[in-house]
Amino acid sequence: MRKFLIIAALFAATAFVSAGLAGPASATTASCRGGPYVGLCGTMVDHENFPLAFDAKNHSSAYDTPVIGYPNLDGDAASDFVVLPYAGGPSIMFIFAPYGKITNMCIANLAGPFNLVLRPCNGSVYQRFNQRNVGQGAVVLISLADSRIVQSNGKGASLTAVPLPANLVASDVWSFAR
């Protein structure tokens, strides 16, 4: 009987999430959400049925660590990023900040091979993105390096910069989550 109840509960939860009725969970840690960068520390989450968040692969802040799409899980320090406007302007930078602690490693689009990675923050166009509003709280992130947009490519796969398509899909659209 107990196995039946557990299976029934899992099925109901899956159906609830699949129907899109569940609200998005926070993908960051409490230290990020409530630390010194409150309001700026969080992550970007795509608009797929099972949302993927920005995530530093293997929780690493090493040079050239791939930035991957990973399930939107509460308490995942690998998804903690501080989002800062560059020089107060419209472009933004994403600084990896596990548990709300700045690492000085920023997301970079190297403009070929187009996988996003962590590199030491230097404010270059390779580390800056513009946001184009595409709906309530929804944006497309456009790299200043080459005008490509950020796209997720499935769980555990590197985020890439791709040409702006004629029609956006859920993996092209992002929202900031705390």
- Tell me the three-class secondary structure of 99-157, residue by residue: HHCCCCEEEEECCCCCEEEEEECCCCHHHCEEEEEEECCEEEEEECCCCCEEECCCECC
Closest CA to 29 of 71, 87, 61, 76: 76
Per-residue pLDDT tens over the stretch 79-108: 999 999 999 889 999 999 999 999 999 999
The whole-number pLDDT of residue 27 equals: 66
**Cα–Cα distance between 71 and 53 in angstroms, integer?**
6
What's the domain range around 84?
Answer: 25-177
pLDDT above 70 covers what percent of the chain? Answer: 85
Question: Model confidence at 26, in pLDDT bands (50, 70, 90)?
Answer: low
In this structure, is residue 19 part of a structural domain? no
Contact between 28 and 76 under an 8 Å Cβ cutoff? The reply is yes
Residue for token pair 């709906």: 135
Mean pLDDT of 165-174: 96
Question: Model confidence at 134, in pLDDT bands (50, 70, 90)?
Answer: very high
Per-residue pLDDT tens over the stretch 140-169: 999 999 999 999 999 999 999 999 999 999
Q: Does 23 score more than 70 pLDDT?
A: no
Measured at the alpha carbon of residue 105, what is the angle toward residues 103 and 107, in degrees to the nearest 5?
Answer: 135
In this structure, is residue 14 part of a structural domain? no
Question: Model confidence at 12, in pLDDT bands (50, 70, 90)?
Answer: very low
The whole-number pLDDT of residue 178 equals: 85
Contact between 79 and 88 under an 8 Å Cβ cutoff? The reply is no
In this structure, is residue 5 part of a structural domain? no
- How many domains does the chain divide into? 1
Residues whose CB is less than 8 angstroms from the CB of residue 32 and which lie 6 or more positions away in sequence, other chains included: 41, 42, 77, 80, 97, 98, 99, 100, 178
Q: Does 170 score more than 90 pLDDT?
A: yes
CATH number at residue 141: 2.80.10.50
In this structure, is residue 13 part of a structural domain? no
Question: Model confidence at 42, in pLDDT bands (50, 70, 90)?
Answer: very high
In this structure, is residue 142 part of a structural domain? yes
Q: What is the token pair recorded at 23?
A: 């609200």
Question: Hey, how many other C-beta atoms are within 10 angstroms of the C-beta on 127?
Answer: 24
Q: What is the token pair recorded at 169?
A: 């899909």
Residue of higher predicted confidence among 22 and 70: 70
In this structure, is residue 110 part of a structural domain? yes
**Cα–Cα distance between 143 and 47 in angstroms, integer?**
19
Question: Model confidence at 58, in pLDDT bands (50, 70, 90)?
Answer: very high
